[in-house]
Amino acid sequence: MSRVRQAATFGITLVAGLVFGTVPVAAAGYDSTTEALIRTLNTQLTVIALPITVFVLAVLLYTVLRFRGNDEPKPTGENRNLEISWTVATALILVVVGVLSYQVMADPSVTTTQEMAQDAPEDAVEVTLVGHQWYWEVQYPDENITIQNVDTIYLPVDRPVYITVTSGDVIHSVHVPDLGLKADAIPGQRSFLQTRILNEGEYQLYCAEFCGAGHSKMTAVVKGVPEDEYEQWLEQQQNSTQ
Ligand code: CUA
């Protein structure tokens, strides 16, 4: 393969990666705003990485086959154009990957700070999840509801949800993969999550930090329900605790 053709292949691969990588992926079909952001980024990075992987493997395979049994290898001469093009191409790819990742990582619903949690909108639902060896405790501070060893965490759909995460003993981690939520539960510290559940349904919550013998028992279900069902459930809880 001539150097020109090599450079051309590289160029085409780069352009394909850049174009497909920046095509916005439809947010439909996701269960929460955070899941949409994270899975879209994952798809974009895969689309960029795949052609590069295929290209590198193809070059490797070509080289191995083309020069097999070559007893008198000659050193390759300098090719400034090729060197400049692969340096620039790599830099461009990294810039695109960096920009795409930064957009998601810096999104307030992926990286939520204490200030953002304090400035939560009026209609936001605020809950606190506390990890214990070995169960989850959920608090709804506005309603004065606390449930120890919770197995179903009710949350309304189509409303902003702010979750404060902490621990009563060792480090745990809240992980709800289908909603794109993950935050460490650290004793003496608070972490914050923010999302909006888009579809009704049950989403599995796991403890994602090994925390002792009962680690695998630290599961719960996040249940996204319509607003009226959520209000009804809150009322039931308040009545049963009084
Ligand atoms: Cu808690 Cu693992």
With a 6 Å cutoff on the Cβ, whether 37 touches ligand 1 is no
With a 6 Å cutoff on the Cβ, whether 211 touches ligand 1 is yes
DSSP states of 142-193: GGTEEESS-SEEEEETTSEEEEEEEESSS-EEEEEGGGTEEEEE-BT--EEE
Length of the chain: 242
Side-chain-side CA neighbours of 205 within 13 Å: the count stands at 27
Tokens of 210: 């090994």
Whose Cα sits closest to atom 1 in ligand 1? 172
Show pLDDT as tens, one digit a residue, over the chain (242 residues): 455 565 555 555 555 555 555 555 445 689 999 999 999 999 999 999 999 999 999 999 999 998 888 888 888 888 999 999 999 999 999 999 999 999 999 888 888 888 888 888 889 999 999 999 999 999 999 889 999 999 999 999 999 999 999 999 999 999 999 999 999 999 999 999 999 999 999 999 999 999 999 999 999 999 999 999 999 999 998 887 65
Confidence (pTM) = 0.78
| Cβ–Cβ < 8 Å for 156, 79 | no
- Please tell me whether residue 232 adopts helix, strand or coil conformation: helix
Distance in Å, CA 151 to ligand 1 centroid: 15
155 bridge partner residues: 224
